[in-house]
């Protein structure tokens, strides 16, 4: 991975430091309901404040089309103050007089949150005038929002070309973890990819087969591969029109000497419902009116065997309909296996994606993984091998 500057390279005392953070947190009735993303930015803010910087936070919230009170960052800033255990001032805009006046009042070590950058069209357009208006507020720029790094927006990419740019601690930790997973990993590398549809992960699969030693395919997307090989899958979720695509991916994997690991048995039900009566069937014996909703016990053991040989595991997507009670067992068992081996120092494990995080939390395994990314789209695009504008700008 190309080098990037971190807080170790920033002489912060007395400087106005614009810090791009992720404050796009879940809200209900005007209250923040999950502070995970707030907790992740605490180390960067605390370190800068302790070094005597004047910390100015930039972030978006929601998808407003112009100024909209329901998408104001003011209640988030108040919650962040509780998480930080220090005051967080708030400015009613992110550019212009309200922002400039609030920045001018800042003292060394104090923290200010500016209003939602997406209240201005120039944010998503990466407009040069908007970038310049933001840049006037700071002496240095720190990006601590990997989750927004796949967007070439003013506050995520444009500012890095106008001010000396650095990675915050959360960004640094994420980039170092991802480099261990696919950039410069300990081998063998096994990727576990699940989810409902092949169509949403074509780029991902195409990139992984050339980078990993083994690829476990589960979830509904495995059904498309099984169908492409002539296996009867009953009424299971399947993108039959992608059979040729699935066969092409299998051929690409064979050429790259990447072992594809598909289910060999399945947990089958007749209704898509929690705790629906279910049975285990070997593949080829799935009833015509049955639905595959989880990998079966033989598949779990086969995948465990692959995990035991791996030095690095990269995970994206559940292996069954984990959100339904009774059909989470395969995902939970394998998540706990990876967690145990990571805890024992036998492997590096990196996971990401919304459903993946939820599944690992359900298995009480997330805390034992080497790194779990909450970045969603940015994590997926990184796994697809795409350049992330917000990261590339830090390396320029």
Whether 191 shows a pLDDT value over 90: the answer reads yes
How does DSSP assign 85-97, residue by residue?
A: TS--EE-S-SSHH
pLDDT band at 355; cut points 50, 70, 90: confident
pLDDT band at 2; cut points 50, 70, 90: low
Whether 73 shows a pLDDT value over 90: the answer reads yes
Whether 219 shows a pLDDT value over 70: the answer reads yes
Q: What are phi and psi of 190, to 5 degrees?
A: -115, 130
Tell me the catalytic residues: 37, 197, 354, 377
Q: 387 CB contacts (<8 Å, ≥6 apart)?
A: none
| pLDDT per residue as tens digits for the range 361-396 | 999 999 999 999 988 889 889 988 899 999 999 986
| pLDDT per residue as tens digits for the range 224-275 | 999 999 999 999 999 999 999 999 999 999 999 999 999 999 999 999 999 9
Whether 354 shows a pLDDT value over 80: the answer reads no
Q: Tell me, what's the pLDDT at 48?
A: 98
The DSSP 8-state label assigned to residue 178 in this structure reads H
Question: Residue 113 pairs with which residues in a beta bridge?
Answer: 57, 90
> Crossing angle, helix 219-228 and helix 243-255, to 10 degrees?
90
Higher pLDDT, residue 183 or 60: 60
Q: Tell me, what's the pLDDT at 396?
A: 66
The DSSP 8-state label assigned to residue 367 in this structure reads G
Compute CA distances 226 → 89, 204, 229, 260, 304, whole Å: 56, 19, 5, 12, 20
Helix (H) or strand (E) holding 208: helix 202-208
d(CA 4, CA 390): 12
Q: What is the mean pLDDT of the chain?
A: 95
Q: Tell me, what's the pLDDT at 377?
A: 86
Whether 1 shows a pLDDT value over 80: the answer reads no
Q: Tell me, what's the pLDDT at 284?
A: 85
Radius of gyration of the chain, Cα coordinates, nearest whole angstrom: 23
Query: In terms of Cα–Cα distance, which of 136, 134, 112 is closest to 123?
Result: 134
How does DSSP assign 101-129, residue by residue?
A: HHHHH--TT-EEE---GGGSHHHHTT-HH
The DSSP 8-state label assigned to residue 388 in this structure reads P
The DSSP 8-state label assigned to residue 386 in this structure reads P
């Amino acid at each position: 991975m190309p080098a990037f500057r971190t807080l170790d390279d920033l002489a912060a005392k007395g400087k106005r430091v614009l810090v791009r953070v992720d404050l796009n947190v879940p809200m209900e009735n005007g209250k923040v309901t999950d502070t995970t993303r707030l907790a992740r930015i605490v180390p960067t803010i605390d370190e800068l404040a302790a070094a005597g910087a004047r910390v100015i936070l930039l972030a978006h919230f929601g998808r407003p089309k112009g100024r909209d009170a329901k998408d104001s960052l003011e209640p988030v800033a108040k919650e962040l103050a509780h998480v930080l255990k220090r005051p967080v001032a708030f400015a009613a805009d992110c550019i212009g007089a309200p922002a400039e006046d609030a920045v001018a009042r800042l003292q060394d070590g104090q923290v200010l949150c500016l209003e939602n950058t997406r209240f201005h069209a120039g944010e998503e357009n990466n407009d040069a005038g908007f970038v310049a208006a933001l840049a006037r507020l700071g002496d240095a720029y720190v990006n601590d929002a990997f989750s927004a790094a796949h967007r070439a927006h003013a506050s995520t990419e444009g500012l890095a070309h106008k001010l000396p740019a650095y990675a915050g601690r959360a960004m640094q930790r994420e980039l170092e973890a991802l480099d261990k997973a696919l950039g410069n990993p300990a081998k063998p590398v096994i990727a576990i990819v699940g989810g409902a549809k092949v169509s949403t992960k074509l780029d991902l699969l195409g990139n992984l087969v050339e980078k990993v030693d083994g690829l476990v395919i589960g979830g509904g997307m495995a059904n498309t591969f099984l169908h492409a090989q002539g296996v009867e899958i009953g009424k299971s979720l399947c993108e039959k029109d992608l059979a040729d695509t699935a066969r092409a991916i299998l051929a690409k994997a064979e050429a790259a000497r990447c072992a594809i690991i598909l289910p060999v048995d399945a947990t089958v039900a007749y209704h898509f419902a929690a705790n629906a009566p279910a049975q285990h069937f070997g593949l080829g014996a799935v009833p015509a009116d049955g639905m595959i909703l989880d990998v079966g016990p033989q598949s779990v053991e086969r995948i465990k065997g692959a995990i035991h040989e791996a030095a690095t595991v990269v995970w994206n997507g559940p292996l069954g309909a984990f959100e339904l009670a009774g059909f989470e067992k395969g995902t939970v068992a394998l998540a706990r296996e990876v967690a145990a081996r990571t805890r024992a120092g036998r492997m590096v494990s990196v996971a990401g994606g919304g459903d993946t995080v939820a599944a690992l939390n359900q298995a009480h395994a997330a805390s034992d993984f080497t790194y779990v990314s909450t970045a969603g789209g940015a994590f997926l695009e990184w796994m697809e091998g795409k350049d992330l504008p917000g990261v590339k700008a830090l390396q320029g």
